[in-house]
Structure formats: structure tokens, C-alpha cells
Amino acid sequence: MLDDTEEIHPLFHGAPQTTEFRKLRKRLVREVREAVETFGMVRPGDRWLVCLSGGKDSYTLLAILHELKWRGLLPVDLLACNLDQGQPGFPATVLPEFLTRMGVPHRIEYADTYSVVVEKVPQGRTYCSLCSRLRRGNLYRIAREEGCSTVVLGHHRDDILETFFMNLFHGGRLAAMPPRLLNEDGDLFVCRPLAFVAEEDCARFAKAMNYPIIPCDLCGSQEGLQRLQVKALLDTWERRSPGRRNVMFRALMNVRPSHLADPSLFDFAALAAGSRAGAGDADNSSEFGGSG
């Protein structure tokens, strides 16, 4: 049982014994397990590279994955990895000391991508795109060197929703972060086991566990990022209508190509009278809506 304090992974030592925290912990374990099963992330015997930035999300990811493995529910090997990107003032000793103390197998890699990003990106532009590409390339390399089949990232439900709206508003496409994908070279999977987890729960969990949080000063110092604007919009919707984020995420899992407008996904020209393909749903009350 998750409440059994006699048998617990070191990552959970010192956990609060309150009912509220136990409920939070159970919810996180349930949601991560559900995502792993729903999106077919596990191939027994594989090795996962668990990417650890030092933020609240990656600490939560690390703890819950080790909890599942500790309970015999995740039949894979886990290797934690932090990529030190050379940011000035980065506390390089925090993560290796923490991981060693927790008994977590890990690899710390130094790659000065910070200098490259600062040199290449014009002043006033966001660093995120180039930074993430450089980070991804290094993580793929490390995964191959370590014999890992899967790169595991700490993106949660809110990250996925924000990316969807970023693409909608600024990219002109309907796309988000997939919970599981195969990289372009076809040799590595990328998984996001926190796909069903709310950012707020990650923050509450990491704070309650008093994990040594390391902020990202590279992008966090830049104001007016489009992602922050989207986050503020989603926060407003959530305050006005609690549960809105869950509803929107469920929509990403309930796609109807015949009710969108992409001819590469649905053959509108082939529609014929008497056919049920693409027929309007009985509950589609907005079929004749709009101001036209």
C-alpha cells in the first residue's frame, strides 16, 4: 500500500504524514501509471533516461517513477540525467549530491549550450527554441551512449495544453506535445509520463518534499514570452470555470477529423448522400451555429 511507511523509496523519506499529502501522492501515482498504460510507454526490460532539470516537475517525475518501480509496477531500468548547460551561477553540485544521497543511479553531463544560445539568438528574442533543440540533441546522444531506449521528460498536462494553444495562436496548426513519440531517426522513444498531471500538483508535491529546486534563469529572466501569455489566459479560464483544463485536455484525446477542416485527414470530397462517414452527430448542437 502507498501508505505503508515501513517500506518506502529514499526519495520519499521525510514525506509529510498528513492526509492531504497522502491523497496527493496517491493521485500522482495513479495519474502517472494511467498515462504509462494509456499510451503504451513500457516495454519490459528497457532502460529509461529520466531527464532532470532540477525544477519541480522533473523532481516529481523522478520520485513517482521510482515509486512505481519500487512497487514493482514499472518493469524498466531508470537512469537519471542532468544536462548542465553552462548557465552562469548554475549550482552544479546540488543535483549530484541529491541523487547520490537518494541512491538514484545518475549521469551528470556538462555541455555549454548557454554560450551558443546567447551568441546565436538576437537580443530581445526568446531562447527557448534553440535551447531546447541543443538540449534534445545532447540528451539523445547520452541516451544512445547509455543504452537507453527512451528519453523521459517532465512535461505535464499544463505544458501540453499551453503548447496546443501556442501552436493554435501562433503556429497555425493543431498540435501539442504527444505523450509518446518516436524520434526522427527512429531509434529512440520520447515519453511524458506526467501527461495527466496538473502543474499545481507538481508544485505542491515538490514543495512538500522540500526538494532543492533550481530555477531556469535562462528563459525565466525574459519577460513577455508568448507561453506566459497563454498560461495567464488558461489561468483566467480556470478561475472562472474550475476544471476547464481537464475538459480541454480530454478534447485532445477526442479528435474528430470529419469535424475539422484538414483534407489530408478526412476525404471531404468523397462524401456521398446516404453515407454515415462524416455524418453530423446527434449531439452536435453547434453544427449550424455561428454568425453567418
Is the model's pLDDT at 127 over the cut of 90?
no
* pLDDT for 284: 52
Q: pLDDT category, 131, cuts 50, 70, 90?
A: confident
Q: Within 10 A of 197 (CB to CB), how many other CB atoms are there? A: 28
- Rounded (5°) CA angle 262-263-268: 120
| Residue 290: all three cell numbers together | 455561428
Distance, CA of 2 to CA of 5 (rounded, Å): 8
Is the pLDDT higher at 8 or at 107?
Answer: 107
Distance, CA of 54 to CA of 74 (rounded, Å): 23
* pLDDT for 218: 54
* pLDDT for 7: 57
- Helix H or strand E encompassing 77: strand 77-84
User: Among 48-52, 90-94, 102-106, 249-253, where is mean pLDDT lowest?
Assistant: 90-94
Distance, CA of 82 to CA of 92 (rounded, Å): 10
Q: Within 10 A of 216 (CB to CB), how many other CB atoms are there? A: 16
CB of 52 closer than 8 Å to CB of 82: yes
* pLDDT for 1: 38
Instruction: Give the pTM.
Output: 0.88
* pLDDT for 277: 64
* pLDDT for 132: 80
CB of 46 closer than 8 Å to CB of 76: yes
Q: Are strands 189-191 and 180-182 parallel, antiparallel or unpaired?
A: antiparallel
Q: Are strands 106-110 and 77-84 parallel, antiparallel or unpaired?
A: parallel
* pLDDT for 130: 77
Alpha helix positions (H), 72-127: 94-102, 113-120
* pLDDT for 111: 85
Location of C-alpha cell 548554475: 90
* pLDDT for 226: 81
List pLDDT tens digits, range 30-84.
999 999 999 999 999 999 999 999 999 999 999 999 999 999 999 999 999 999 8
Give the N- to C-terminal CA distance of the chain in Å, as an integer. Answer: 58
Location of C-alpha cell 532540477: 54
Q: What average pLDDT does range 207-235 have in this prediction?
A: 78
Is the model's pLDDT at 171 over the cut of 60?
yes
* pLDDT for 276: 66
Is the pLDDT higher at 23 or at 126?
Answer: 23
- 87 Rama sector, left if φ>0, alpha if ψ -120 to 50, beta otherwise: beta
Q: Extract long-range pairs of 234-243: CB within 8 Å, 24+ residues apart.
A: 234/158, 234/161, 234/162, 234/165
Distance, CA of 76 to CA of 142 (rounded, Å): 18
List pLDDT tens digits, range 223-261.
347 888 899 999 999 999 999 999 999 999 999 999 999
Query: What domains does the chain contain, in order, with CATH numbers?
Result: 16-249 (3.40.50.620)
Distance, CA of 269 to CA of 49 (rounded, Å): 46
